[in-house]
Chain A
Amino acid sequence: GAVVSQHPSWVICKSGTSVKIECRSLDFQATTMFWYRQFPKQSLMLMATSNEGSKATYEQGVEKDKFLINHASLTLSTLTVTSAHPEDSSFYICSAPSGGNSYNEQFFGPGTRLTVL
C-alpha cells in the first residue's frame, strides 16, 4: 500500500517559537493532503485540507494564521505551528488520498507529537 511519512515524529519546543511538521507521500502523488489534530484520549479532528498549488482550506474554528499550511509539491505538505503555546501541544496526523477522480482510500502518516513548554 501507499506510504505517508511525517517528520519529526516528536518535537519539544519553547512557548513562542514556531514548529514545522512535514508530511510526505513516499510512493504516490497527492494533490490533496489532510491535517488532523488529536488530543489525548480523543478522536481525530480535521484541521485543514492542503491543496497543491493553492491555498489550504481550513475547518471552522481553526486559526489559519496560527497553523500555516504549504503544499509545496505533489509529495510534500507542511504544517507550521506559529508562536506555539502549551495549548497547541497535541498529536498531529496527516493523510493523503491515493488520487484519482473517485473516492480514494486515505493513507495516514504515523503522527507528530508536539509538546510546547
Chain B
Amino acid sequence: AQSVTQPDIHITVSEGASLELRCNYSYGATPYLFWYVQSPGQGLQLLLKYFSGDTLVQGIKGFEAEFKRSQSSFNLRKPSVHWSDAAEYFCAVGAYAAGNKLTFGGGTRVLVKP
C-alpha cells in the first residue's frame, strides 16, 4: 500500500523568503508524485507532478520539486514566497497499479508574514 507523510503541519514564512515543504512517500515501485494547493473553501489545484525523467520538476506559480528516490522524498520549494501563497499544500502519490487512486499526505498549512 502507498502512503505519504508531510512532517510539518504548519509553516510560517516571511514574504520574500524561501519555502520548502517536505514530503516522504512509501510505495514499492516508482510512484507518480503530485503537489496540490488548496485555498480555504476551495478545490485542489495541481502545482506540479512527477511521472518519470528529470527528477527536478518545475510547476506553476514559481514552485519546483525534486524527486529523490534514495530518500523517498518529493520536497516542494519556492525561492521567494508571495502573500498569495498562503494556503494548504498537499503531497500525493498515485500508481496505475493501484487503480489510479491517489493517497494524500496530511497537508501543510503555510502562513505568510508581511
Q: Does A pair with B?
A: yes
Are B43 and A109 in touch, CB under 8 angstroms?
Answer: yes
Are A110 and B106 in touch, CB under 8 angstroms?
Answer: no
Instruction: Using known A-B contacts A43-B90, A103-B96, determine if residue A111 contacts B101 with beta carbons closer than 8 Å.
Output: no
Chain A proximity of B57: nearest CB distance (Å): 13
- The answer to whether the Cβ of A44 comes within 8 Å of any Cβ in the partner chain is yes
Interface residues of B in 13-33 (CB under 8 A from A): 32
Q: Of A34, A102, A110, which is within 8 A of B101 by CB?
A: A34
- The answer to whether the Cβ of B104 comes within 8 Å of any Cβ in the partner chain is yes
Are B41 and A105 in touch, CB under 8 angstroms?
Answer: no
Are A42 and B43 in touch, CB under 8 angstroms?
Answer: no
What's the dominant secondary structure at chain A's contact region?
A: strand
Are B104 and A44 in touch, CB under 8 angstroms?
Answer: yes
**Count of chain A residues with a beta carbon within 8 Å of a chain B beta carbon:** 24
Which residues from A are CB-within-8-Å of B101? 34, 46, 49
Which residues from B are CB-within-8-Å of A102? 96
- The answer to whether the Cβ of B72 comes within 8 Å of any Cβ in the partner chain is no
- The answer to whether the Cβ of A7 comes within 8 Å of any Cβ in the partner chain is no
Separation of A91 and B43 alpha carbons in the complex (Å): 10
- The answer to whether the Cβ of A106 comes within 8 Å of any Cβ in the partner chain is yes
* In the complex, residue of chain A having the shortest beta-carbon distance to the beta carbon of B95: A103
- 11 other A-B residue contacts (CB within 8 Å) besides A46-B102, A106-B102, A108-B43: A41-B109, A42-B107, A43-B105, A44-B104, A91-B41, A93-B44, A103-B32, A103-B96, A106-B94, A110-B43, A111-B43
Chain B residues in contact with chain A, CB under 8 A?
A: 32, 34, 36, 41-44, 46, 49, 51, 90, 94-96, 99-107, 109
